[in-house]
């Protein structure tokens, strides 16, 4: 068994993808000689040459737009946006062209490209370096939005993203870049559009992805000490969403909690909550709850601990996953006196 | 230690403030210095340009009429800009790519795209009616300047695969204000890709005049800041546009890098059939430009050279009429609607969620087919 960090596994995935297909090209800001600010492209330029892994001008829309053109001519570009909040200039390209080209051309032009974006907070960085922008992308038909939580998934999902005929926004949880795991590469894990159960449990379902999967597992560990068994589902793909795996778990446990770093309002958790309410209504013992980032701009480093979901906040939310305690003061009107069996009787 | 391996900087000449012209408003050959070292294309090329402009104009007026009749959802006319569209496109080689916008339908017909497929977008049948790869024409682009970087990426990839494919990007004066234009110019120059950016400066971005769009001496001057060649050309002179685009493409193809061409022209019609230009511009201005008509100028030159006669012009006109009639006939029937197609091309394979939505829409379509209201049969 060898040890890999998530960043190292992603680096190996890019190297293997470059070796496997001469049409794969890797480029972006600082990805060449420097190897990327997080070193995910380390050594690729030296190994494969300037034509396969190279630095581009510092312009995200240009990076995304040129990737569209390259893919139109049969290349498979894997471009890096240096940080989540620096990718916004490319939003027009991503939403209007990357996502729609197959559709606009009735399938005659497909864009097999990957846009890698380090996202999320927790690394003590200053403003514009900690956004969780997944909902913007997941809301867009035509894009696949994928986010690994483990080194082995990092490798496998990135290889699959590069091979996919569809464009993939590949969101890398930056605070997990250095998390080390024992594994052998190459490895292929579950297919890209599948959620997986990371930890089985009968009492409640905790749905997480990317940077919050480890937080959810830590919370599940603490709950186990209290005698409560939480099932942790790692979404892996936000679009398309494997809501079947999620719903199957929620039907088993009757309680669901979504955890993400992104702001709560209009966040991806709202989609999960709506779907679980639609698909599992008669199995639910409590409302689907969310543990999310605050509805404030990403905080300065000295305050980010209050924004980021923690195991403690998950435990607090689990306490509210009861019919009796799910009433939120000020939000639900007068407290219902009726017990559950009398509602609607 | 070297920190940079920058190539030596070569000085670039500034474009001329006066647009380059080979044919004047009256159809006479211009003298140097108006020609800036360019020669008039050969007679056969000039005849080809005239024929394509005659056909293009008839196509344009037919499309405008169809829009008036409600047979098209919208039509942005390019009447008056034929020299840019035809002059630019006819300079392209077989393997080259064209990156057009919504106002470049005439350019697409000149490229050989089926006119009915050109109108698919504006009729509202689908977003792009032609096969981009078959014609090497990207889909008509609506968000301004966003297709420019696609051309840069495509030609970059083509060169790496050993092809000498070049690309022509069509954009308007308004598009040059967009950040995407800047990024594409810069990428093209830094990567030395064979892209020619042809700006059809038609003086108006819907209702906003050029002087509120740019403070540059000419839009062609922008080229110099990126380190590429800039040309300033009379956009109502098909010979001049063709000569300049052909030279720029040849230079780009042989490794000389991209070029930015500003073609000075005018949109004599409204922005689209739903625009009212009387609210923002003086009709006298449009009339002045109509007298500089690109078709009349080239025809006058060819007639004075005895290079074209009435019989040939009649043949051009009847070719144009046949095309217009074919467009009318082929667009007379109701469009075929496939609700399934909404879901066919979102991903390579429809997702389970899309399959569920597809079933729901099929049902709604079947109810509509049976003549029920939207809640029919309930």
A282 catalytic per annotation:
no
> Do B323 and B366 lie in a common domain?
no
Torsion angle defined by CA atoms of residues A179, A182, A184 and A190, in that order, rounded to the nearest 10 degrees: -70
The predicted-structure confidence for A244-272, as pLDDT tens digits, reads as follows: 999 999 999 999 999 999 999 999 999 99
Q: What is the pLDDT of residue B334?
A: 81
> Do B343 and B323 lie in a common domain?
no
The predicted-structure confidence for A66-75, as pLDDT tens digits, reads as follows: 999 999 999 9
Which residues in chain B have their CB less than 8 angstroms from residue A72's CB?
Answer: 132, 138, 150, 153-154, 157
Which residues in chain A have their CB less than 8 angstroms from residue B345's CB?
Answer: 102-103, 105-107
Contact A69 B152 (CB under 8 A): yes
> Do B354 and B294 lie in a common domain?
no
pLDDT confidence band for A328 (50 / 70 / 90): low
Give B88's DSSP letter.
H
Residue span of the structural domain in which B349 resides: 339-374
Beta strand residue intervals within chain B, DSSP E:
97-99, 167-172, 195-201, 204-205, 208-209, 229-234, 259-264
Q: What is the pLDDT of residue B11?
A: 79
pLDDT at A345 over 50: no
Q: What is the pLDDT of residue B337?
A: 82
Q: What is the pLDDT of residue A324?
A: 62
pLDDT confidence band for A338 (50 / 70 / 90): very low
Please tell me which of the candidates B143, B157, B352 has its beta carbon nearest to residue A70: B157
Q: What is the pLDDT of residue B201?
A: 98
More confident residue, A76 or A343: A76
| Other residues' Cβ atoms within 10 Å of the Cβ of residue B357 | 15
Q: What is the pLDDT of residue B374?
A: 53
pLDDT (average), residues A276-286: 96
Q: How far apart are CA B308 and CA A253, in angstroms?
A: 84
Do the domain assignments include residue B7?
no
Q: What is the pLDDT of residue B372?
A: 61
Q: What is the pLDDT of residue A178?
A: 97
Beta strand residue intervals within B149-294, DSSP E:
167-172, 195-201, 204-205, 208-209, 229-234, 259-264
Helix (H, G, I), strand (E, B) or coil at A323: coil
> Do B220 and B344 lie in a common domain?
no
Q: What is the pLDDT of residue B15?
A: 94
Q: Nearest CA to CA, how far is B39 from chain A (Å)?
A: 34
Q: Which of B128, B130, B153 to mutate to test the interface with A (most CBs of A within 10 A)?
A: B153
> Do B255 and B343 lie in a common domain?
no
Nearest to B111 by CA among B162, B195, B70, B167: B167
Do the domain assignments include residue B16?
no
> Do B357 and B270 lie in a common domain?
no
pTM: predicted TM-score of the whole model, two decimal places: 0.95
Give the active site residue among A97, A128, A129, A139: A129
Q: What is the pLDDT of residue B188?
A: 98
Contact A61 B152 (CB under 8 A): no
Please tell me which of the candidates B127, B154, B160 has its beta carbon nearest to residue A72: B154
pLDDT at A1 over 50: yes
Do the domain assignments include residue B307?
yes
Q: What is the pLDDT of residue B369?
A: 85
List the single residue in A with minimal CA-CA distance to B142. Answer: A96
What are the structural domains, with CATH classification, of chain A? Answer: 2-183 (3.40.50.970), 196-343 (3.40.50.920)
The predicted-structure confidence for A107-152, as pLDDT tens digits, reads as follows: 999 999 999 999 999 999 999 999 999 999 999 999 999 999 999 9
> Do B347 and B318 lie in a common domain?
no
pLDDT confidence band for A342 (50 / 70 / 90): very low
Residues of chain B scoring pLDDT < 70: 1-9, 372-378
């Amino acid at each position: 068994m060898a040890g890999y960090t998530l960043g190292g596994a992603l680096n190996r995935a890019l190297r293997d993808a470059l070796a496997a297909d001469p049409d794969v090209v890797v480029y972006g800001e600082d990805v060449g000689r420097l190897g990327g600010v997080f070193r995910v492209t380390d050594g690729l330029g030296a190994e494969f040459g300037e034509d396969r892994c190279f630095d581009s001008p510092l312009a995200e829309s240009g990076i995304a737009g040129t990737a569209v053109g390259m893919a139109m001519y049969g290349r498979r570009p894997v471009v890096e946006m240096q940080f989540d909040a620096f990718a916004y200039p490319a939003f027009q390209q991503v939403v209007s062209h990357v996502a729609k080209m197959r559709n606009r051309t009735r399938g005659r032009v497909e864009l097999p490209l990957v846009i890698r974006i380090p996202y999320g907070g927790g690394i003590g960085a200053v403003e514009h370096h900690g956004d969780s922008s997944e909902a913007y992308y997941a809301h867009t038909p035509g894009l696949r939005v994928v986010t690994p939580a483990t080194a082995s998934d990092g490798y496998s999902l990135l290889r699959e993203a590069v091979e996919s005929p569809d464009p993939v926004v590949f969101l890398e949880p930056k605070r997990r870049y250095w998390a080390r795991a024992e594994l052998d590469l190459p490895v292929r894990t579950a297919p890209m559009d599948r959620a997986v159960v990371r930890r089985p449990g009968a009492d409640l379902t905790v749905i997480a992805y990317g940077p919050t999967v480890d937080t959810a597992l830590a919370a599940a560990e603490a709950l186990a000490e209290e005698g409560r068994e939480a099932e942790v589902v790692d979404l892996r793909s936000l679009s398309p969403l494997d809501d079947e795996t999620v719903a199957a778990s929620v039907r088993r446990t009757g309680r669901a909690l979504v955890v993400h770093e992104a702001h709560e309002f209009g966040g991806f958790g709202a989609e999960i909550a709506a779907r679980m309410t639609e698909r599992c209504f008669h199995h639910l013992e409590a409302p689907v709850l969310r543990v999310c980032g605050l509805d404030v701009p990403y905080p300065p480093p000295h305050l980010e601990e209050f924004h980021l979901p923690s195991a403690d906040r998950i435990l607090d939310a689990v306490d509210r996953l009861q019919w009796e305690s799910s009433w939120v003061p000020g939000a639900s009107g007068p407290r219902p006196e009726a017990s559950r069996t009398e509602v609607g009787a | 230690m070297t920190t940079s391996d920058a190539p030596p900087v070569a000085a670039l000449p500034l474009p001329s403030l006066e647009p380059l012209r080979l044919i004047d408003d009256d159809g006479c050959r211009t003298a140097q210095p108006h020609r800036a070292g360019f020669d008039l294309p050969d007679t056969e090329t000039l005849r080809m340009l005239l024929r394509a402009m005659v056909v293009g104009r008839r196509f344009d007026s037919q499309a405008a009429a169809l829009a008036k009749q409600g047979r098209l959802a919208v039509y942005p006319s390019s009447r008056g800009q034929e020299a840019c569209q035809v002059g630019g496109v006819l300079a392209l080689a077989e393997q080259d790519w064209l990156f057009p916008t919504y106002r470049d339908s005439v350019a697409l017909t000149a490229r050989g795209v089926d006119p009915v497929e050109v109108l698919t977008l504006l009729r509202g049948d689908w977003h792009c009616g032609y096969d981009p790869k078959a014609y090497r024409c990207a889909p008509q682009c609506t968000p301004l300047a966003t297709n420019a970087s696609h051309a840069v990426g495509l030609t970059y990839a083509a060169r790496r695969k050993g092809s000498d494919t070049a690309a022509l990007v069509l954009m308007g004066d308004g598009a040059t204000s967009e950040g995407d234009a800047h990024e594409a110019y810069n990428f093209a120059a830094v990567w030395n890709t064979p892209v020619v950016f042809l700006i059809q400066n038609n003086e108006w971005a819907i209702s906003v005049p050029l002087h509120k769009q740019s403070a540059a001496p000419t839009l062609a001057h922008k080229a110099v800041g990126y380190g590429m060649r800039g040309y300033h050309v009379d956009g109502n002179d098909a010979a001049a546009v063709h000569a300049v685009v052909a030279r720029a493409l040849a230079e780009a193809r042989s490794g000389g890098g991209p070029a930015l061409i500003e073609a000075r022209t005018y949109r004599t019609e409204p922005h689209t059939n739903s625009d009212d230009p009387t609210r923002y511009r003086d009709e006298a201005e449009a009339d002045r430009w109509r007298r500089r008509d690109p078709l009349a100028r080239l025809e006058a030159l060819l007639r004075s050279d005895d290079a074209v006669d009435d019989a040939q012009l009649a043949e051009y006109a009847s070719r144009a009429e046949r095309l217009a009639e074919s467009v009318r006939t082929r667009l007379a029937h109701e469009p075929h609607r496939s609700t399934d197609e909404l879901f066919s091309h979102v991903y390579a394979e429809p997702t389970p969620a899309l399959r569920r939505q597809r079933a729901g829409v099929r049902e709604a379509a079947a109810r509509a087919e049976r003549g029920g209201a939207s809640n029919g049969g309930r």
